[in-house]
Amino acid sequence: MRVISVILLLWAPVLISSKQPQDCREVQTINSHAVNGVYTIFPAGDRSGVKVYCDMESEGGGWTAFHRRMDGTVNFYRPWDQYKIGFGEASGEHWLGLDNLHYLTGERKHELLVSMEDFEGNKRFALYSTFSVGSECEGFNLSVSGFKAGDAGDAMSSHNGMKFSTLDRDQDTWPEHCARKFLGAFWYTACHETNPTGVYRWGADNSLFAVGMSWLHWKGHDYSLKSMSMKRIDTKFPQKSDDEGDAMSLNNGMKFSTLDRDQDTWPEHCARKFLGAFWYAACHETNPTGVYRWGADNSLFAVGMSWLHWKGHDYSLKSMSMKKRYYRFLGTKESSYGGCGDTGNGVCSADGRDGIMARRRLQRGGESEDGSLLARRTVQAQRDDSAESNYRSLNSAGEGWSEAPDNSVQQDVANMETHTEVGSNPCNYI
């Protein structure tokens, strides 16, 4: 029994199951006899579920449909807000919603399967190895690549990297407005090789160019298909990097949680459960602010300062530091970044948000081979003894604590945000 537990932990975050599936693959895991149909899932990991259509037959099953059309009963020419939250009924034509799609694809690696049928009864498909959708702040940008198989041909790769466009939000690369021109909503470029949300028409029709539900590399722009569905699946295999493995990607996009502010996706409270403060998901593969313990200790599960893909959840590390860096071309003013200057390892002062002076420990980077690029690393958090408790409130995390020369130091969250990115607010269109 112990061996089974260890194997599960190697491939999954800390998640105390409440038997609420997050997608159709988890529905299939819970019920191996599940058939095609409508199920309730919890993509955001919260208490409010959403109904989806699960394809339990194609390519082994477990596919979560986020787009389905088969009879033209639902109008897909809609504004941004409706594409954001979703519309239609899961049992028929529907769009799951960009928010839900982001939640479903924000962690792990996912595949995309597009299934289609013409009015003559012929069926085709296209399968992609990588698929995800960004947040609203990123324009719900599309990441799709790795066309693996399919007799429909590849009509999605040309849309890779694009933001989502609707009749009232133009985010394509065409001087005009693709969504209005082709009567749909999609990750248009300039403009499309497929138009899954276009007008529902009946087969071949060239009276209006490329406005139908088409797939260029099978039937061309002037043939509107009878049915089309787009589905994603979690491949369940986390990507690894370097010897220690990747224990941070799981937390991408998460808000910061503390003992007095729960912003994770778990129905309970990760920070309190695992005695730390972090960008918890549901809950963690690393716990840098957890309890300082001395090596292997399974008396309390996963509360230590751990890194799952190296030592597992029950081994608390001796030391850990987290650092960020930027690249600065020679001639760029250091003050524009507000980071540590041209000093060696040690403590420096740097301007943070609202004129706050933050003392930071600096680990010196180096020059590139041609001397044209400098790398700096400013320590965000460092721990190598148990002198400081890191189990604190949000106010403490926001202000930071401990003097930089001490062994344990936590840079304030506000200043971390200031120095992590340079540029305008990605949501400034709102």
The confidence band for 222, taking pLDDT boundaries of 50, 70 and 90, is: very high
Q: Determine, yes or no, domain membership for 342.
A: no
> Which of 170, 200, 234 delimits the end of a domain?
234
Q: Bigger pLDDT: 145 or 266? A: 145
The confidence band for 293, taking pLDDT boundaries of 50, 70 and 90, is: confident
Whether residue 395 is predicted with pLDDT greater than 50 in this model: the reply is yes
Q: Determine, yes or no, domain membership for 228.
A: yes
SS3 of the chain: the string is CHHHHHHHHHHCCCCCCCCCCCCHHHHHHHCCCCCCEEEEECCCCCCCCEEEEEECCHHHCCEEEEEEECCCCCCCCCCHHHHHHCEECCCCCEECCHHHHHHHHCCCCEEEEEEEECCCCCEEEEEEEEEEECCHHHCCCEEEEEEEECCCCCCCHHHCCCCCEECCECCCCCCCCHHHHCCCCECCCCCCCECCCCECCCEECCCCCCCECCEHHHHECCEECCEEEEEEEECCCCCCCCCCCCCCHHHCCCCCEECCECCCCCCCCHHHHCCCCECCCCCCCECCCCECCCEECCCCCCCECCEHHHHECCEECCCEEEEEEEEEECCCCHHHCCCCCCCCCEEEEEECHHHCEEEEEEEEEEECCCCCEEEEEEEEEEECCCCCCCCCCHHHHHHCECCCCCCCEECCHHHHHHHHCCCCCCCCCC
Q: Determine, yes or no, domain membership for 3.
A: no
Residues 221 and 254 in one domain: no
Q: What's the pLDDT score for residue 392?
A: 66
Q: What's the pLDDT score for residue 93?
A: 97
Residues 295 and 215 in one domain: no
Q: What's the pLDDT score for residue 353?
A: 38
Residues 298 and 151 in one domain: no
CATH number, residue 314: 4.10.530.10
> Which of 322, 355, 390 delimits the end of a domain?
322
Residues 149 and 248 in one domain: no
Q: Bigger pLDDT: 171 or 29? A: 171
CATH number, residue 200: 3.90.215.10
pTM listed for this prediction: 0.55
Whether residue 278 is predicted with pLDDT greater than 90 in this model: the reply is yes
pLDDT tens for residues 336-376?
334 454 455 665 554 443 333 333 344 444 433 333 333 33
Q: What's the pLDDT score for residue 244?
A: 63
Q: Bigger pLDDT: 147 or 338? A: 147
Residues 317 and 207 in one domain: no
The confidence band for 394, taking pLDDT boundaries of 50, 70 and 90, is: low
pLDDT tens for residues 17-72?
446 898 999 999 888 899 999 999 998 876 679 999 999 999 889 999 999 999 99
Q: What's the pLDDT score for residue 313?
A: 83
pLDDT tens for residues 374-388?
333 345 555 666 566
Task: Please give the mean pLDDT across all residues of the chain.
Answer: 78
Flag the least confident range among 33-47, 117-131, 202-216, 243-257: 243-257
Residues 216 and 248 in one domain: no
Residues 289 and 189 in one domain: no
Residues 201 and 228 in one domain: yes
The confidence band for 405, taking pLDDT boundaries of 50, 70 and 90, is: very low
Q: What's the pLDDT score for residue 374?
A: 33
Residues 28 and 145 in one domain: yes
Whether residue 185 is predicted with pLDDT greater than 70 in this model: the reply is yes
Residue range 413-430: mean pLDDT, rounded: 46
Its domain, for residue 130, covers 24-234
Q: Bigger pLDDT: 3 or 218? A: 218
Residue range 118-132: mean pLDDT, rounded: 95
Whether residue 296 is predicted with pLDDT greater than 80 in this model: the reply is yes
> Which of 295, 322, 349 delimits the end of a domain?
322
Percent of the chain with pLDDT over 90: 49
